[in-house]
């Protein structure tokens, strides 16, 4: 009787645990739906909409000179053909990818762990402020996460069955991933490294030949699938190289430091917080490393298969990209979203590795922290990734007239300004660039700025310069303007997004205006 009551109590406790996790997932979805309408359009989103409004051939031409692959833009093209170009509607496509990722992740986790770890991993994914930020951004990032999750699912099926199951799924999911983001190649290479290690580190056989024989059918299927995917991707790769290797609108990415690695993991877990909060979290990295060392060296009570696979796919791609960035800076946390399915699984596994009481306390604290930081990220005006271009345009609508000029720096930030601004003033870029033309953005020079300003002085009273996405010459522009023209207004709208108004002409008409 006592034993029966104990089992009943355990079952009730598990049900409450599962219900609580499902409730938190529902809350995260609700928070997303509420806040999606409050966020201003961002630069990347405006570029997506700009590309998606073109014809299919126009999209392919544009994307071939950008840093993305074309699948998302093609899907968004047909999405906005049906539902319109409103930014909230456009974000719905990313939200759908996010929703589809949840059951896929659960199936991935259930292949290697129990229900508790699987549901907790999905809950962490759904509550992650980082994931939810990109689930309501009109970009490819949640599609990339979905592609990676599907590839996890079918790779593990293929691997566990020694090449018997999951062949078609792995072929399609790999192709899906390759056309989602160029960084998917790092994920595929990590899987390849895992396959090689699993052969050489297999202790059940003595000879290398025997090790190969055990995995022969898997290796044949695996290599054949990757070869076929490469064949299907090759035409785009050739076209991309022929069109100029992304010479159009590449942002300036500085070489990463060790701080960036820890900041990236902080972003994955806790989202984009204010500079002070983020700095505090990153400063705790020695403690975090010590805790991780303790966790990975202690005996783990939670039964999980293929731990090495998830650890490798969570950390190795970041190390590769970090090292490559010393030659060509490409290290951006949003490009690394594909490691989050593995990372959140590891976190769930760690949290459930203790006694039941300790685990529930740690899980409660962690999930409440995620939920609180999610609200803070979405509501705080100091969130560093917020781009209040709507506020900029409302300001310009009130202040700028047809006799004034608006200039944006960097040039590619003309996309969100042009999307949101409905006033009478003309818009130019610094340096001058025609967004309807193909080819790289011209290099900035003070000489060209002087020439352009002399021309503007003949026609316009004031110039409103929108500063965002510093490409390395913003300070030169501000120094020149401050030493040669009178600054009338300087207003900040969100971190890194500022509008400065300068008086170009000093005739009677201009003076009367102010």
pLDDT at 133 over 60: yes
What's the rounded Cα separation, in Å, for the pair 128 and 230? 33
Q: Give me the domain span that covers residue 170.
A: 2-379
Do 355 and 457 belong to one domain? no
What's the rounded Cα separation, in Å, for the pair 412 and 51? 13
Task: Considering only the C-alpha atoms of the chain, give the largest distance between any 2 of them, rounded to a whole number of Å.
Answer: 97
Do 394 and 374 belong to one domain? no
> What are 374-412's pLDDT values in tens digits?
888 888 777 888 888 999 999 999 998 999 999 998 888
pLDDT at 302 over 70: no
pLDDT of residue 298: 57
The whole-angstrom distance between residue 146's C-alpha and the CA centroid of its chain comes to: 12
Do 165 and 314 belong to one domain? yes
Phi, psi angles (nearest 5°) of residue 382: -95, 5
Do 58 and 192 belong to one domain? yes
pLDDT of residue 210: 60
pLDDT of residue 381: 77
pLDDT of residue 64: 80
Inside any domain, residue 485: yes
Kind and range of the H or E run holding 180: none
**Is the separation of the CB atoms in 271 and 124 below 8 Å?**
no
Inside any domain, residue 384: no
431: CATH: 3.40.50
Q: What is the mean pLDDT of residues 89-103?
A: 92
- Looking at per-residue pLDDT, the higher value among 244 and 429 belongs to 429
Q: What is the mean pLDDT of residues 265-281?
A: 80
**Is the separation of the CB atoms in 187 and 320 below 8 Å?**
no
- Looking at per-residue pLDDT, the higher value among 186 and 13 belongs to 186
Cβ-count burial of 112 within 10 angstroms (0-12 exposed, 13-18 middle, 19+ buried)?
A: buried
What's the rounded Cα separation, in Å, for the pair 219 and 191? 12
Q: What is the mean pLDDT of residues 26-49?
A: 81
> What are 308-362's pLDDT values in tens digits?
999 999 999 999 999 998 888 888 889 999 999 999 999 999 888 888 888 888 8
pLDDT of residue 6: 44
Burial 140-174, CB ≥16 within 10 A → b, else e: bbbbbbbbbbbbbbbbbbbbbeebebbbebbbbbb
Mean pLDDT of the chain: 84
pLDDT at 53 over 70: yes
- Domain limit, last residue, from 379, 410, 430: 379
Q: And the tokens for 318?
A: 């970041």
pLDDT of residue 9: 45
Q: What is the mean pLDDT of residues 279-290?
A: 66
- Domain limit, last residue, from 326, 353, 379: 379
pLDDT of residue 5: 44
| Adjacent-strand bridge partners of 498 | 467, 492
Task: State how many domains the chain has.
Answer: 2
**Is the separation of the CB atoms in 343 and 314 below 8 Å?**
yes
pLDDT of residue 199: 77
Do 281 and 412 belong to one domain? no
pLDDT of residue 43: 87
What's the rounded Cα separation, in Å, for the pair 452 and 457? 9
User: Between β-strands 462-467 and 405-409, what pairing exists: parallel, antiparallel or unpaired?
Assistant: parallel
pLDDT of residue 198: 83
pLDDT of residue 7: 46
Burial 399-437, CB ≥16 within 10 A → b, else e: bbeeebbbbbbbbbbbbbbbbbbebebebbbbbebebee
Q: And the tokens for 424?
A: 């009478």
Confidence of residue 299 (pLDDT cuts 50, 70, 90): low
> What are 158-198's pLDDT values in tens digits?
999 888 899 999 999 999 999 999 999 999 999 999 998 88
- Domain limit, last residue, from 322, 353, 379: 379
With vertex at residue 356, the alpha carbon angle to CA 350 and CA 362, rounded to the nearest 5 degrees, is 50
Cβ-count burial of 96 within 10 angstroms (0-12 exposed, 13-18 middle, 19+ buried)?
A: middle
Inside any domain, residue 339: yes
């Amino acid at each position: 009787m006592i034993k029966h009551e104990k089992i009943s109590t355990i079952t009730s406790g598990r049900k409450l645990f599962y219900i609580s996790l499902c409730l938190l997932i529902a809350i995260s979805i609700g928070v997303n739906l509420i806040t999606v309408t409050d966020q201003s359009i961002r630069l990347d989103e405006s570029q997506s909409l700009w590309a998606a409004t073109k014809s299919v051939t126009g999209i392919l031409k544009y994307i071939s000179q950008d840093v993305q692959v074309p699948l998302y833009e093609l899907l968004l093209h047909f999405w906005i053909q049906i539902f319109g170009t409103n930014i909230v509607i456009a974000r719905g496509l990313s939200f759908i990818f996010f929703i589809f990722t949840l059951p896929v992740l659960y199936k991935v986790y259930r292949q290697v762990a129990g229900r508790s770890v699987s549901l907790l991993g999905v809950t962490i994914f759904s509550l992650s402020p980082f994931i939810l930020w990109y689930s309501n951004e009109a970009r490819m990032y949640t599609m990339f996460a979905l592609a990676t999750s599907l590839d996890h699912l079918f790779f593990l099926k293929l691997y566990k069955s020694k090449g018997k199951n999951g062949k078609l799924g792995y072929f399609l999911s790999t192709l899906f991933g390759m056309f989602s983001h160029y960084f998917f190649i790092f994920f595929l290479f990590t899987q390849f490294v895992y396959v090689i290690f699993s052969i050489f580190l297999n202790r059940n056989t003595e000879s290398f030949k025997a090790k190969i024989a055990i995995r022969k059918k898997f290796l044949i299927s695996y290599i054949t699938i990757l070869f076929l995917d490469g064949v299907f991707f090759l035409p785009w790769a050739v076209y991309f190289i022929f069109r100029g290797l992304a010479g159009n609108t590449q942002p300036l990415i500085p070489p990463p430091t060790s701080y960036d690695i820890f900041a990236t993991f902080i972003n994955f877990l806790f989202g984009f917080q204010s500079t002070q909060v983020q700095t505090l979290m990153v400063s705790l990295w020695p403690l975090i490393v010590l805790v991780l060392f303790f966790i990975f060296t202690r005996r783990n009570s939670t039964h999980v298969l293929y731990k090495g696979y998830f650890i490798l796919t969570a950390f190795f791609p970041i190390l590769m990209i970090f090292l490559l960035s010393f030659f060509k800076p490409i290290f951006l946390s949003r490009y690394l979203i594909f490691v989050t399915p593995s990372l959140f699984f590891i976190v769930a596994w760690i949290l459930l590795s203790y006694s039941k009481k300790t685990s529930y306390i740690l899980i409660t604290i962690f999930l409440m922290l995620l939920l609180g930081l999610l609200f803070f990220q979405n509501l705080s005006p100091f969130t560093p990734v917020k781009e209040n271009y709507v506020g900029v345009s409302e300001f310009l609508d009130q202040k700028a007239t047809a006799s004034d000029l608006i200039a944006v720096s960097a040039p590619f930030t003309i996309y969100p300004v042009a999307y949101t601004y409905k006033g009478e003033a003309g818009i130019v870029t610094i340096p001058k660039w025609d967004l309807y033309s193909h080819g790289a953005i011209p290099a900035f020079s003070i000489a060209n700025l002087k020439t352009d300003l002399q021309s503007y002085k003949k026609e316009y009273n004031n110039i409103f310069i929108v500063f965002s996405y510093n490409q390395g010459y913003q300070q030169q522009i501000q120094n020149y303007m401050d030493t040669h023209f009178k600054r009338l207004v300087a207003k900040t709208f969100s971190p890194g997004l500022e509008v400065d108004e300068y008086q170009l002409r000093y005739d009677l008409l201009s003076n009367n205006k102010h």
